[in-house]
Amino acid sequence: MTEPMRIVVRLAAPVETVWRALTDPTELRAWFAEHAEVDLPHRYEFWGRYTPEGDAPHQRLLHAGDHTLRFAWSLDGVEATSELSLAAETPETTLLTLTQSHFRMAEMFDGSSIRGVLQTWWSLSLANLNAHLEGREPLPRTDFTSAELRGELLIAAPVDKVWQSLIDSEQASAWFGYPIGIEPWVGGRYAMGGLDAPGAAKIVDLEPERKLGVDWGPMGVGTWELDGSDGKTRLTFVQSGFDEGNPPYPGWAGILAGLSELRRYHEVADWQPIWVEEAIPADA
C-alpha cells in the first residue's frame, strides 16, 4: 500500500471552534454532509448525497481526543483510514492536517473506484469548512446521486476583476494553487501545469466578461458564465458533455475547491490561500 495522502490547511478560527465544527452534528450538516451523527468517543458517522457511497454510514470511529479524529471508512469494499488533527498556529488560526489512506491517482483518472474522488472531495470539504468558519456561504457540494454538475457562486467583486482572474495565467495560478497556462482566445490552450505541460484543454467559447468555455476532453466542457450587478459578480459554472454513466466527480470537486479560493482572492484583505501543504503519494 502507498503512503497516505496528506493535506494541511490553515483555518480562520481557534482550535476549539474548529473542533466544534468537526464534531457538532448540526454544524457538520451545514458544511460537510447531508446527514451526520456524533457521539464521542463511540460514534462518528456521516452519509447522504454529498458523501461518496453515502447510501448509509460506513465509518467506524477509531480515536477521538487531543483534537484528533481517526476513523475507518469502508469505500468500494476496502476499509480506508481517515484522520483529522488540529494544532493551534496562533490564538485565532488553526492548522488542520488530514491524512487519508487508500488513495491512488490512477483511480482518480480512470474512474475504477469511488476512492479516486478522495483527494478533491476532501479538498472541497476543507474549503467548505473554512467558508463555514469565516461566515461565508458554502460552495456547492458534489452530489453523488446526480449527473447534473452545476453550481453558482456570488463574489463580492466587480465582473471585470473576476473575469481577469479567470483568464490571466498568473492570477488563476495564484488562486487555484497550481500552475495554469491560459491563452485567452477561442482555440487557445487552458493548460493545468502550465503551457509547457502536455495534454492541455482547449478554450471553445469566450465572451469577454460574460462567458468562458473549456473543453476538457472526456471530462466534458466546463462553462463559466458571469453576471455583474452592484459591484458583485454571480458566477455560474456547468460541466456537460461527459459520460453520464460515469460522471467526472473527482475533477468537478477539484474545480469547486478551487473556486473557494477565487472568492477569497477577491474578498479577503491580504489574501493568502488556506492550503499549506499537500502530499499526494505516487501510486505503488
Domain boundaries, the chain: 5-141+275-279, 149-243
Average pLDDT of 45-66? 96
What CA dihedral angle connects 109, 113, 119 and 125, to 10 degrees? 130
| The pLDDT of residue 112 | 80
| The pLDDT of residue 113 | 84
Does the structure show a pLDDT above 80 at 106?
no
CA distance 31 to 129: 6
Does the structure show a pLDDT above 60 at 284?
no
Q: Which CATH architecture has domain 5-141+275-279?
A: 2-Layer Sandwich (3.30)
End-to-end CA distance of the chain: 7
For residues 84 and 69, the answer to whether their CB atoms sit within 8 Å is yes
For the domain 149-243, what is the CATH superfamily, name and number?
START domain (3.30.530.20)
Asked if 5-141+275-279 and 149-243 have one fold, the answer is yes
| The pLDDT of residue 99 | 97
